[in-house]
Every structure is written in structure tokens, then in C-alpha cells.
Structure 1
Amino acid sequence: MTEQSEFYRVHESGAFLHGTKADLRVGDLLVPGRPSNYEEGRIANHIYMTKVLAAAVLAAEFAAGPGRERVYVVEPQGDVEDDPNVTDKKAPGNPTHSYRSREPVTVVGEITDWVGHSPEFLQDFRDRLEDLRRQGLAVIYD
């Protein structure tokens, strides 16, 4: 699952997906205002989601905390907007199908038949993120 094109292919379900290490159940709500999955000490002002399985898997693989990586099917309970962290800043429009919401998001299912990225891909991604941070261009998820 390391091909770049995988990050533009909408999952066959067309559903919103959320990658994390949290152990959630159908009916649970994800709400803004809780600690970030990706940066200690940061409060998340949005819930992030995607329609691309490879991106949701990557989010789960990079999520902080104990537990195994999970990809949940989620349903937003309010307005959803394109994620400007990776759309407007990185590519015109929303080719990565990345979104965020300030409203709760309900877990409606879990996808379990996915394959993670290779250790080499993950290290390369970490290295690229670190380069962006050094340049002051790192994506900050609030």
C-alpha cells in the first residue's frame, strides 16, 4: 500500500474514515476539544477524516498511545470542510479527500481487512515530516 496513487483513491464504500489507536465501539462519538492523536500537549479543535483507506491507515500508524492501529467508518453529525492542512496548502482542491469537522463524528463501523505501510515507507514519511518541520512548513492538526 505504498504507492502514491493509493492516497488519491476513494475507498469503495465512499464513507468517511478515521484512523487512530483508540479502542472505540459503534455509536461512540469523537468530539473536538480532546488531546491530539499526533502531538502531546495539543488539544484537537477538529475531528479529521478521509475517504481514502491508505490515508486512514497512515493516520492510525502515526497516532500516539497504546493499542493497535484501527480504521473506523465514521459519520459526521454536522458540517464538514476540506482539510486546509493538506488541500489548500499542498494541492488545489481536495485530491486526497481529507476533511475535518468541529462537530461530533459517530463511529458506525470498523474496517479490519487493511494492510499497513512498510517500515521503509513509514520512515521515509517521518523523515519528510521532519524536513517540513525544520523548514517551518509542518502540518499542524488543531
Structure 2
Amino acid sequence: MELPTTIPHERTLDGLIGLRVHDQGDGWIEASVPVVDGVRQPMGLVHGGVYAAIAESVTSMATAAAVMPDGFVAQGLSNATNFLRPILEGTVHARADRLHRGRTTWVWDVRMTDDAGRLAATTRMVIAVRALAG
């Protein structure tokens, strides 16, 4: 199985929610999503699924960047997102820090904050690392 590499970013979920990666290093990644109508639920706050999507996307990206050169792929295995405070406007800021780098799974802690730096959601994300089948 070969991974699709020609899907334009704007046609993916990341593109639809406006996810932008700002910086990353060994074991961490930072990104953001602007709060616009398309990421809000009917009551006007950021939809819980957006937080879960941010967490899965950034941790998958960071894991993939590390394992793909060795012929492996990264895919979400478990996503446990907790909501602590609503965000109604501005930007959702995310920082993911790797807690565990195993042979077949990586574990990440993702913190999502508002523009004032207040914690809005946290995610414990487990990423599966699998051989790219050819």
C-alpha cells in the first residue's frame, strides 16, 4: 500500500479547519487553528471534534516526520480529549510533547490554549507506528 501524497492540504481536514504548524523539534510540535464559523458548534464555541482533530493531526505529523525515513507510517490509535474551558473567538493554540517513543507506539500530551494562554483542552494521543507495506 502506498500513501497518497498528492492530496492538496486545503482539501484535507487540516486544510478545512485552517490548521497551521508553526514550529517543531525532536519530541514536540506547535500549531494553531483560527476560530471561524466553520470550527464552531451551534452555540458559538469551538467544536470538541476540532480539538481532537488538532491533536491527532499534529501528533501524527510529528511522529511521521521521525519514522517515515525508515519506512514506517504513523496513524492515530487512541485519542482521549478533555474539554476544560470554551474558546469562542481568536485562535486555538496547540503544543504537543512526546511522552513515550516506542517501537510500535508513541504517546503524546497535547495542550490547547486560547489567546490568553488559558488551558482549554488536553489530549492524550497514542500513535501507532507501522511498516509501510509495499
TM-score, normalisation: structure 2: 0.23
**Which protein is bigger by CA-based radius of gyration?**
2
Higher relative contact order (CA 8 A, sep 6+): 1
Q: Greater strand share, 1 or 2?
A: 2
TM-score, normalisation: structure 1: 0.22
Q: Greater helix share, 1 or 2?
A: 2
